[in-house]
Amino acid sequence: MKIKVNFDILKIFVSFILFILALFFKDNNVLYFILLLTSYFIVSFKVFIEAFQKVLKGNYFDESNLMIIATISAFIIGEYPEAVMVMLLFEFGEYLSDLAVENSKRSIVKLMDLRSDYVNLKKGDTFKKTDINEAKAGDIFIVKPGEKFPLDGVIIQGKTEADTSSLTGESVPRKLVVGSEVLSGFVNGSGLVTVRAVSEASSSMASKIINLLESADEKKTVTEKFITRFSKIYTPIILILAVLIVLFGYLFEVKDYFYNALVFLVTACPCALVISVPLSFFCGVGRASKEGILIKGSNVFDSLTRLKTVIFDKTGTLTEGKFLVREIFSNKVSSLELLKLVAYGEYYSNHPLAKSILAFYDKEIDETKIKNFKEISGEGVLVTVDSKKLVIGNEKLMEREGVLFTNTTVFGKIVYVACDGEYLGYLVVGDKIKNSAYNLVHELRKVNVDKVVMLSGDSEDICQKVASKLDITEYYSELLPTDKVQKLKDIKKNSIVAFAGDGVNDAPVLKEASIGISMGGVGSDAAIEASDIVIMHDDLEKIVTSIKIAHLTQKIVKFNIAFALIFKFLMLILAVFGLAKIWMAVVADVGVTLFAILNALRIMKKKIL
């Protein structure tokens, strides 16, 4: 059996044993000194190497340099046990800090454990377990119950349910049948399904998400950049102050002034800030991923916490973006007969409304029954079906053809129907407002968003109806894509603006916004490229969740910074007046660092209210 040795903990253990052993030979000065020196070099050689490498790169001031200066100085003044104890505590603290950070990162990456190493690929008449990187778009593979879908694809045989929570945050299993699209990272339920791949492993949704998660910390927040600059300025100032403590102590004959300066150096280490601040934002990104929200960089948190205006595209964002027959009102004929007449009448039209009606009718059309088809742009169609002259269209067409009809005002596009000059009724073809949109404005106000705006290319009356139902007081209708960009620029002059769109048609507006949010953007390259945030499941409430996570992260970061600085300041005062020992300073530094790390990890667990 192969035993894995942790050399970091081993060197600390050996050094500690030698340190304890040295205390038993205190009367033997030579052996005492050799044991302590050996203990010191065992535990500190890595610190010396890292410090030397940093100096070669031009980084002369960090916590490693402070520890080396402090401990060597302690040896010079004969405080051998103090020197060893300081380095032991420092390295043990670094080990615990690294362990906590690595465990947190592993737990975050585990949330996004989407990739598969293999795929059950079709080879001839059989399926063979194959390395995932050998698969190509168009290949056929099977997914057994309990397995992850290794590639993006379309089901061509079988049916099942899939756990999509790792991608979308949605806990309810998704039903999958022939024709359903699947994404790598979904977990198969109890059914065996055959899938045709639409991507290679490198371009699958799992790879895109993991790559973005791993690179999220490259885009740093203002706070992170400040801490980096602060550390570079802070350390030289601390060294200068330590020298001043020595000079003033010497001039005014202060007792143990050199030792006090060493305690001051050790106390001043900025470990808690340097470690906990980046970790906090990394946890924020990880928590968002757990909720089905992909945030492309920790810098987005700064904007989210200051967000005052959210602009929504209407179709596909606030509404489902699917035009269906929502209502049939029939006069003198049955609803089914009215639908049939309209389906036949609209058969040759390429208008989206016509296609929606035909899809809803979903029966075979006998083309021989259709004669004299004429489409009037912007109004409707005139057609003969089974020798019946049909007028199908909006109120303009009805009025022009002299049909007496009842003008109706409802949410959606109204298709009026007349046969041989007689009014038969109407169909309502419309989009549907998403359930998650109804309480959206109220929830956004609770997270300090003052202004909600809707932009749409749709008509004034439809936009007015949607806006009134959702309590949106400011909206703009009949806009072209370029108009949306200009309108966003006008609003953006006064505040930080987020734009939420479907991630494909709205790419220019997403780019222009302070924060671009793609709704239901799973599988869309345009969404991931253009957006700062991608909502993996088509749920508007996740926008509010992302703002809450940003506020929680910022709150914990500020607390950690304030706590660390106040604690450091108090310890530095004690050090100046000789009321602290070096080992006490190290214990305090390690304690503050571990507390800050544990506090940062709360972001992953704390309930988002």
CATH node for 324-430 = 3.40.1110.10
> Above 90 in pLDDT, residue 315?
no
DSSP 254: -
Interval 490-502: pLDDT, tens: 998 878 999 998 7
**Backbone φ, ψ for residue 327 (5° rounding):** -155, 145
Catalytic residue, from 313, 431, 532, 539: name it. 313
What kind of fold does domain 136-199 have according to CATH?
2.70.150
∠ CA 179-181-186, nearest 5°, is 130
For 140, the enclosing helix (H) or strand (E) is: strand 140-143
Confidence bin at 482 (pLDDT 50/70/90) = confident
Residue 313 annotated to the active site: yes
Q: Which pLDDT score is estimated for 107? A: 54
- Listed in sequence order, the residues at least 6 apart from 102 whose beta carbon sits closer than 8 Å to its beta carbon are none
> Above 90 in pLDDT, residue 374?
yes
CA end-to-end span of the chain: 49
Q: What is the pTM of this model?
A: 0.70
> Which of 86-90, 210-214, 258-262 is the least confident region?
210-214
Q: Which pLDDT score is estimated for 172? A: 65
- Listed in sequence order, the residues at least 6 apart from 334 whose beta carbon sits closer than 8 Å to its beta carbon are none
> Above 50 in pLDDT, residue 316?
yes
Structure tokens at 483: 């108009």
Q: Which pLDDT score is estimated for 243? A: 87
- Mean pLDDT on 313-328: 84
Q: Residue 516's closest CA among 304, 347, 363?
A: 304
Structure tokens at 506: 């709205």
Interval 143-197: pLDDT, tens: 999 888 988 899 999 999 988 766 665 556 888 999 998 888 888 988 999 999 9
Is the Cβ–Cβ distance between 111 and 166 less than 8 Å?
Answer: yes
User: Which amino acid would we find at residue 479?
Assistant: L
Domain chopping of the chain, boundaries: 136-199, 283-318+434-547, 324-430
Q: What percent of the chain has pLDDT over 70?
A: 87
DSSP states along 96-116: HHHHHHHHHHHHHHHHT----
Is the Cβ–Cβ distance between 192 and 143 less than 8 Å?
Answer: yes
For 453, the enclosing helix (H) or strand (E) is: strand 451-455
Give the CATH H-level superfamily of domain 283-318+434-547: HAD superfamily/HAD-like (3.40.50.1000)
